[in-house]
Amino acid sequence: MPDRAPSLFVSSVSLGVTVIGLYIVFVLFVTIGFGSYIYRTAWQAEPVTATAQENRTLVADIDNLLFIIKREQDLERSKTLVSEDIQIHAAAMSDIETRHSKSFGTIATAKRALRAEVDATLGKLSEYQYDLAGPQRLIYDTTLENMSIAVAAEEANLRATTADLQLRALLRTLGEGLAGSDVDLDTTDRYAAFHDDALAKLDLLSKGVDSANTASLAIKAEKAALQAQIDALRLRWTAHDEQILALQSTLGPGDPARARLSALSLNFPIFPDILMRFVSFPTIFLTLIVTIAAGGLGTVVAFSRRYYSAKNANELTLSRLFVNVGEGIAAAIAIFLFSGAGMLALTQGSGPANDVELSPYTVAFIAFLSGFMAEDAFASIQSAGKRIFKPDPPAEKNGQATDEGGKPEQV
């Protein structure tokens, strides 16, 4: 016995917590279902709106009003998300513009280094130009002069690369001139080494310029793609704003209907529009929800009464609770189906003269009783089914049944 006491206590606590939780769930659904039904039928009986006459028929229907408000809320949320995306993209654009501006500085630094190497190489060429013979010297001087003219005539941002190309041509001209002149072998070898070293330095610096230009172009392409995304987001924001204004032209921001329906929106982190969704359900669906919740609530009430009875407390378990709830809900659904089939006179007038609906009050009350007395409810359902499917008695032979049927009953 001492070993079983903690287990019994834990089982009792879990069962009690489950009963309380089911109480809350079923009461909540009954309350929301009835409240939504009352709200919807009251609106249909007396719509509240102050809109223009041409839109009065449209907004008099609560379903249209709920659609307008729900659509406007969705558009406002989408508009807010688009605004946040625009801000995020704008921050990214600022970063890209900063990187793009810095890339210009990198390009300028690389070009200055290339131009400085070109000038330094030109200064070193004077050591070899005096070894050229007369005709070769003239060709070299003409090439050097053309180089200066071409570089001066080029745009400022292209002068470094132009000077690099012109210097390569000048080095080639000088090498050819030395080869055609009467110079010693030592001078030829020194110039060959100088030529190779100069070209290696120029190649390295030229690649640096090309890399800086490529990086700048990549940043520019990234900037253009991001700008296209920002433009698309701004178009979406404008489209959402225009749709909101169109909806507000149908149902004005100060319309009493908007104020009344906006009260259905709850400031909850989860399911903020649960009341609005319930009100948008058809009345027959609300009746079904209330019927199921009332059946479950009646079952929980009956179970809790038996649970606190000293006679039956030890026989009730958590699994038995769920079985009873399922039976109560099944009985409530059966009551709803019987009511909808016209087997029970449970209708009430609502709306136009020909619009007759199930009364949720009567159906929910019987559903509660069916959940409270699930076993008796199933017995009644079975007896009703037997009456429906009961076969007709067979006719007796020799017309005896006809003769007896023709005689009046004796009191």
pLDDT tens-digit map of 18-68:
888 998 999 999 988 888 888 888 777 666 555 555 555 665 677 778 888
d(CA 52, CA 58): 10
Contacts of 76 (CB under 8 A, 6+ apart): 244
d(CA 265, CA 261): 8
Whether the pLDDT of residue 160 is over 70: the answer is yes
Residue type at 193? A
Structure tokens at 349: 């007038």
Structure tokens at 210: 């090309």
Whether the pLDDT of residue 85 is over 70: the answer is yes
User: What is the number of other CB atoms lying within 10 angstroms of the CB of residue 55?
Assistant: 16
User: What is the number of other CB atoms lying within 10 angstroms of the CB of residue 144?
Assistant: 19
Instruction: Count CA atoms closer than 13 A to 122's CA, side-chain side.
Output: 19
CB 357 within 8 A of CB 347: yes
Among residues 377, 380, 353, 351, which one has the least CA distance to residue 284?
351
Among residues 278, 293, 277, which one has the least CA distance to residue 35?
278
- Minimum mean pLDDT among 92-101, 228-237, 363-372: which range? 363-372
d(CA 279, CA 63): 9
Q: What is the pLDDT of residues 376-390, one digit of tens each?
A: 656 666 676 667 666
Structure tokens at 246: 């169109």
pLDDT recorded at residue 174: 79
Structure tokens at 127: 């050591």
Q: How confident is the model at residue 11 (pLDDT cuts 50, 70, 90)?
A: low
Domain ranges of the chain: 12-50+257-389, 77-245
Alpha carbon 120 to its chain's center:
63
d(CA 369, CA 391): 30
CB 128 within 8 A of CB 178: yes
Whether the pLDDT of residue 280 is over 70: the answer is yes
d(CA 215, CA 220): 9
Tokens 């089911």 sit on residue: 22
Tokens 């001492």 sit on residue: 2
Q: How confident is the model at residue 286 (pLDDT cuts 50, 70, 90)?
A: confident
Q: What percent of the chain has pLDDT over 70?
A: 73
Q: How confident is the model at residue 269 (pLDDT cuts 50, 70, 90)?
A: low
Tokens 């210097």 sit on residue: 167
Diameter of the chain measured on Cα atoms: 159
What is residue 2's three-state secondary structure?
Answer: coil
DSSP state letter for 133: -
CB 283 within 8 A of CB 350: yes
Q: What is the pLDDT of residues 95-135, one digit of tens each?
A: 999 999 999 899 899 989 988 888 888 888 877 777 777 77
Tokens 């654009």 sit on residue: 93
DSSP state letter for 358: E
Residues facing 347 on adjacent strands = 358
